[in-house]
Structure 1
Amino acid sequence: MKGPREAETPGMRVSEDWQVWIGEKELPVWEALKNTNHGTHDITRMSFVGFDLDKPLVVRIRAKKPGAVEVRPYAENIPTEKRGEELFLTLKKPTKLILTRGTGYEGTLILTANPPHLPPKPESVTRYFASGVHEVGELALKSGDRVYLAEGAIVKGWFALQKVENVQITGRGILSLGHLPHKEDFRVFKGDATQNILIEGLTVCNAPGWIVSFWNGNSNLTVRNLKLVGSFRYNTDGVQTGTDGLLVEDCLLQCNDDNFSLNGVCKNVVIRNNLLWNLYNGGVFMLGWATGQQFELRNFDVHHNVIFRAGGCCDYDRKAPFSLKLFGSNRVAENLKFSDIDIEDIAPYGRWLDFQAEKATKSVVRKIQFENITIRKTWRVEAELRGTSDGAIEEVAFTNLVIQGKRVASPQDAGLNLIRTKNTTIDSKSFPDGIVFEAKKSGSESPQQSTVSSSAQAAGPNLLEARQKELRGSVMDQKQVDITMLLKVSGPGVYRYGVRVRGKDFPVKVTLLINDEQHPSPDVLLTGEGSQSVERTQPVRWDELRRAVLRIEVANGKRGSFQLEGIWLQRSGG
């Protein structure tokens, strides 16, 4: 049999960062290498090792390069002991771990203790890949086929399943695809119109595009104990499917796009006991998004998963760990439950929740539960539910939501904007629509660049500035637009408010309503020559939390094409 160095393939080599032993036996540790300029540049390699675990054992690990080693997920609470330069882990059951070194994620070790299994005899399966390197390319499978990759098998190939049923692709081998160029719609496991498919136990290294990709009329797809590593390239969605009867369990999915991209007709879904790592692009649970096809998501149960890290990308506001985006008409997302999910890290810029249905019509988004969700670290605490253009997101319930050590009791605690929603509850308490804005105590504001005039700068920082992006550009071709805000301040005060709008040849009136008290501005004529500002200094007083409405209307009652470019609220004394 060839030695490890002889089995190296493009994008995969023997690890130069880690060594692993069980007893006196040293295990082969592989290293996936980045071969693209896609996404984040602070992670260029990661190592991985796997073995079966049928009884408790101690794993000895040596990091070849300096840096404190941290064992994650934290919730696993693995007993560890450091002896000199080596770390000893006591494993009592099958598990999946990520060992980091230093402060970042460069050169991590992915360690998988698989459940025990009995390899089949070669003659009992349709295709048996023994230990060694196999050049295969695309392998088209037929109904009833059974494919097995033995431990030590490195297969440079992928699978096509078209209108087939009762197919199994299992084993402990590796699909190594670093020799292929990036291609967005490449599909490592390509399935259409399939029934009763099992993918289990394999490792996929350096995928060039979509990985488990089953579209168009599938039923009963099971993905179990699949490991995705070295997914550095964009579009490496983990499980991308529209399936009636989907089970994904005990997997480790490291992706540089959505870990789960669910579209089409996707019903009766269970996703459980997985370790998920979104490198940079995409989101973790990405629902909808596709256009031009039917979307129906029902009976969706996601529980007992760990999100190691949720990435942040160029479209950061729309790529949260929990993300839904609907287009078109007659879309349905109903009976969705996310429970017992531990999120260890959300990368800079990322929201933790983003459900957007405003581009859908005649659609239903309702009965959604978030229960026992823990977010240990996030760059910002922000989330949004935004209903359809002609309806609302209904019956969303949050129970035992903890963000950075604090149990959430209100939308303000969660940074949660509620726009066209009905019956939203947090620990059974109902909350109305509103966009959350947080103000600091008087005298505690730190200097910062304002977006308005120098006179307004003197009043303090713009308390709404953090929410500019989702408001800007949202007001166009309307007679009147009401922007509802939940304003949280530390006590009564005097504030100035204003907006910046752009339009042409008609007057605009801006009114701030607080507790039904109107504080109108004078009309301002939009000339089309740049932006026009409307500013008011008004002794607006309210207590800890008040609901306010900023109303922008064309003063002559006609429809006008104007655009909101800025909005501010500043403490000016009192």
Structure 2
Amino acid sequence: MMKLARVVAALVSVAGLIAAAPAGAANPGPQYVGTEYDQGGGTQAIDGPLPQVEQLADQITRTTDDMLRDLARERAKLPYGSIESDHHAPPQLTTYPPAPGSPVSDQYSVTLGQRGRSTSSFVYQVAARKTDTNLEKDTSWTSFSFAGPVAVRVHKLSGTATGCLVRPESARIRTHFADGTCSFALTAAANVSVEFTPNTTNPVLHPMLVFANPPEVDVPPASDPNVLYLGPGLHQLGTVQLHSNQTVYIAGGAWVQGTFKGLGVHNVVIRGRGVIDGTYLDTGDQDSNKSRPGLIDIDCHDPGQPPHAACSTGSSNSSNVVVDGLTFVNGPRFNVRVLGDHITVHNLKVMSWWYSTDCIWAGTASLVEGNFCKVNDDALKPMTGDSVIRDNVVWQLENGAPFMISWNILTDQADFHVYDNDVIHAEHYWLSPQAIFRARHATPGHLQRFLFEDIRVEDANWRLFYIILEKHPKWYDPALGFGQISGLVFRDITAQTPFTMPNVFTGGDPDHRVSDVTLMNVAMNGTCVANAADGNFQIDPATTDQVRIVKSAHAPCSHR
């Protein structure tokens, strides 16, 4: 009876509020304060709702959510294409034996514990390869699969330490440090960096990465004639030409020296827990490496076609491709380029050292999810829409950008939702154009409708934004002219440290602009920015328009 009385009282209260509301009153939406910078140098104060920005964000979300449902239907047609974790899997722990000759770490060892049992997990190590600019010495990592709680103990074998932490901070992993060992518990899959104080900021000389995978699903049998099955051990394959309706399975404990190429292929799955190593392709020279293929190179361009063109629906297009679970190391060129349409790139771990070793570029109608990128060129590339890029972790070396919005895309592209990603380090030191969010656009494509939200930047102090159209002598063709970049929303972006370089927004000319850009609840070094001065922004008044910098009127820069 007391519960019923409270319900009746609540209903009466709600009814009174409705009756008291003016007829036709509507929720005005979130309130913001800040500044808009318009073409010609004019400014407008903002104090109220921004319905046009909210509508743009909602439109992008609806479009990309529809795409994800369509992509899941296509992925379900593949015999071994599932990326869904088994949430009912019993507690289990799987470690993988190293292939003969695998490079063992002299910096760290790892022990795992579950249900009263303890086991070691092999720790690999690779040396930094671009020794003229890489400030790190090497990178170590271990990989295992599990369900249920697991205890992780990372022991430092060399040097002294006073404590430890685990990045990304958003994982909220508590650590315990004693006797040179960092201990913590995991209850869900995660790709993390274990760092020992005092060396936890750039450059971290000996990174240690833990790739804690979910249990494998959709493992194909070796007997399937459409499966290239590579079990534990060393495999020296060279170039593998992919064909349609093929599955490549690389088991945990497999170390593969090979590259996988395809043109006009359909219904292809490449998955497993093994390692693809590109060292055999590495010439040791930056310029010479530019002629090398990517480790996975599924293209949609016939030889002789210009680069950066969008894929067509012609015979050279590729479609319905899944790349899942693998580790890539020492690629001398880009690592995973899967163009075409209906592309899924999931839970990859990538480590490369040279310039032009981009991490992941997926094509139209694509999902890039749950990956770890530690590369020396662009990590995540929202350049071919519509696409979703979410739940990734980036450790950016000195070159490239964690999020590259355009690198001279020739054709119009739209609808990108990039959210819930972490940048744990960005080692930008001296290359001026570098930034966390970057576009260098010298071609005629119109890039539009981008929603970046819930992006967390930890150890980075060079530059947050560098979005420009430029007459670069190497790429700009006056006969083609400029395109535009428009309709960008950056919402709930948090950068922990101060930045050395200004943030830049510049178009190509007064008719080819960077326009309709909204920075909404962007926090930099504890400041929730509401104008250009707050964040050291350089906004070219001649070639930009409707650039808004705002924060919530109530509880600015708090999580929505």
Same fold by TM-score, threshold 0.5 exceeded? yes
| Stretch deviating more after TM superposition (56-65 or 378-387) | 378-387
Equivalent position to 1:142, from 243, 258, 264:
243
Residue of structure 1 aligned with 2:169, choices 68, 74, 79: 74
Shift of 1:184: 1.9
1:109 and 2:225 matched: no
1:423 matches 2:546: yes
* TM-aligned CA deviation for residue 5 of structure 1: 7.6
Aligned match for 1:127, one of 228, 251, 256: 228
- 8 Å contact kept, 1:61–1:88: yes
Aligned-pair CA distance for 1:14: 0.6
* In 1: Cα distance, 2:424 partner to 2:232 partner: 31
| 1:84 Cα deviation from its structure 2 partner | 2.9
Deviation at 1:137, TM superposition (A): 0.6
1:50 is paired with a residue of what secondary structure? Answer: strand
> Residues 258-273 of structure 1: matches in 2 within 5 Å?
258-261=378-381, 263=383, 266-273=384-391
Cα distance in 2 for partners of 1:60, 1:364 equals 50
Instruction: Give TM-score scaled by structure 1 length.
Output: 0.68
Q: How far 1:179 sits from its partner (Å)?
A: 2.8
**Structure 1 stretch 50-59 or stretch 174-183: which is displaced more?**
174-183
Matched with 1:29 is: 123
Alpha-carbon displacement from aligned partner over 1:108-144 (angstroms, at most 9, x marks no partner): 1110111222333222351111111111111111100
Q: Could you tell me how far 1:314 is from its partner in structure 2?
A: 4.9
Q: Contact 2:382 / 2:389 at 8 angstroms: preserved in 1?
A: no
2:428 corresponds, among 301, 308, 312, to 312
Deviations 1:125-176 (A, max 9, x none): 5111111111111111110000111110111111011110000000000012
- 1:425-481 Cα shifts (integer Å, max 9, x gaps): 22279xxxxxxxxxxxxxxxxxxxxxxxxxxxxxxxxxxxxxxxxxxxxxxxxxxxx
Query: Which amino acid counterpart does residue 165 of structure 2 have in structure 1?
Result: E
- For 1:530, the equivalent position in structure 2 comes to none
Shifted more, 356-365 versus 94-103: the winner is: 356-365
- Once the two structures are overlaid, the 10-residue window that deviates more, 361-370 or 303-312, is 361-370
Residue 282 of structure 1 contacts residue 313 of structure 1 at CA under 8 Å; is this kept in 2? no
1:382 CA displacement: 2.0
Deviation at 1:6, TM superposition (A): 6.6
Q: Which residue of the other structure, out of 33, 46, 50, is the alignment partner of 2:143? A: 50
Alignment deviations for residues 59-94 of structure 1 (CA, whole Å, 9 cap, x no partner): 122111222433211221202222333222111211
How far 1:4 sits from its partner (Å)? 6.5
Over residues 283-338 of structure 1, what are the superposed CA-to-partner deviations in whole Å (9 max), with x where a residue is unaligned? 22223233xx623231011000001122326541x221111122133x21110111
- State yes or no: 1:335 paired with 2:457: no
**Equivalent residue number for residue 297 of structure 2:** 190
| Partner amino acid, structure 1, of 2:266 | E
CA distance in 1, matches of 2:358, 2:510: 31
Give the aligned partner of residue 349 of structure 2. Answer: 227
Give, in whole Å, the separation in 2 of the partners of 1:143 and 1:29: 35
Shift in Å, 1:405: 1.3
Structure 1 residues 203 and 250, CA gap change in structure 2 (3 angstroms): same
CA distance in 1, matches of 2:551, 2:530: 10
Work out the CA distance in 2 between the residues paired with 1:273 and 1:322.
Answer: 17
Distance 1:224 1:100 in 2: 25
Match 1:237 to one of 318, 340, 358: 358
What's 1:158 paired with? 259
Between the aligned partners of 1:52 and 1:190, the Cα distance in structure 2 is: 27
Q: Name the SS of the counterpart of 1:143 in structure 2.
A: coil
When you count helix as a share of all residues, which structure comes out higher? 2
Taking the aligned partners of 1:82 and 1:310, their CA distance within structure 2 comes to: 26
State which of 500, 504, 508 in structure 2 corresponds to 1:388: 508
Distance 1:138 1:356, change over 3 A: same
Report if the CA contact (8 A) 1:143-1:166 is conserved: yes
> What residue identity is the alignment partner of 1:297?
Q
Residues 1:197 and 1:4: Cα distance change in structure 2 (over 3 Å): closer
Residue type at the aligned position of 1:328: T
DSSP 3-state at the match of 1:179: helix
Q: CA-to-partner distance for each residue in 1:265-286, whole Å, 9 max, x for gaps?
A: x111110000011111112222
Question: What is the root-mean-square deviation in Å for CA atoms of aligned residues?
Answer: 2.2
Unaligned runs of 5+ in 1: 430-574
Deviation sequence 1:93-114 (CA, Å, 0-9, x none):
1111111233241111110111
CA contact (8 A) 1:184 1:210 kept: no
Could you tell me how far apart the structure 2 residues matched to 1:43 and 1:32 are? 11
Give a deviation string over 1:475-510, Cα, whole Å, max 9, x none.
xxxxxxxxxxxxxxxxxxxxxxxxxxxxxxxxxxxx
Structure 2: gaps spanning 5 or more residues: 1-95, 284-288, 300-316, 553-560
Give 1:204's aligned residue. 328
Q: Which amino acid aligns with 1:43?
A: E
Structure 1 position 262, deviation (Å):
5.3
Judged with a 3 Å threshold, the aligned counterparts in structure 2 of structure 1 residues 326 and 304 are, in CA distance, closer, same or farther, namely same
Q: Match of 1:401, SS?
A: strand
Q: Which of 372, 395, 400 is residue 277 of structure 1 equivalent to?
A: 395
Letter in 1 for 2:469: A
Cα deviation, 1:155-205, whole Å, max 9, x if unaligned, reads 111101111000000000001222322412421111122101110000001
The letter of the residue matching 2:547 is: T
Which secondary structure state, in structure 1, belongs to the residue aligned with residue 281 of structure 2? coil
Amino acid across the alignment from 1:344: E
Q: Which residue of 2 aligns with 1:456?
A: none
Partner of 1:558: none
CA 1:210–1:75: 2 relative to 1, 3 Å: same
Percent identical among aligned pairs is: 25
Match of 2:466 in 1: 354
Match of 2:104 in 1: 14
Closer, same or farther in 2 for the Cα pair 1:388/1:325, shift >3 Å? same
Q: After TM superposition, give the deviation of residue 261 of structure 1 in Å.
A: 4.1
**How far apart, CA to CA, are the structure 1 residues paired with 2:353 and 2:465?**
24
Q: In structure 2, what is the Cα distance between the partners aligned to 1:137 and 1:91?
A: 37
Question: AA paired with 2:448?
Answer: E
SS of the equivalent of 1:344 reads strand
Q: Residue 411 of structure 2 aligns with which residue?
A: 295
* Higher-RCO chain (CA-CA 8 Å, sequence separation at least 6): 2
1:99 aligns to 2:200 (yes or no): no
Q: Superposed, which structure 2 residues align to 1:355-504 within 5 Å?
A: 355-359=467-471, 361=481, 363-380=483-500, 382-391=502-511, 392-419=513-540, 420-427=543-550
8 Å contact kept, 1:184–1:234: no
Query: SS state of the match for residue 534, structure 2?
Result: helix
Return the letter of the residue paired with 1:336: F
| Structure 2 Cα separation of the partners of residues 89 and 362 of structure 1 | 51
Correspondence 1:248 to 2:373: no
Instruction: Read off the aligned partner of 2:346 and give its amino acid letter.
Output: R
Moved over 6 A (4+): 3-6
Give the structure 1 partner of residue 30 of structure 2: none
Higher fraction of strand: 1
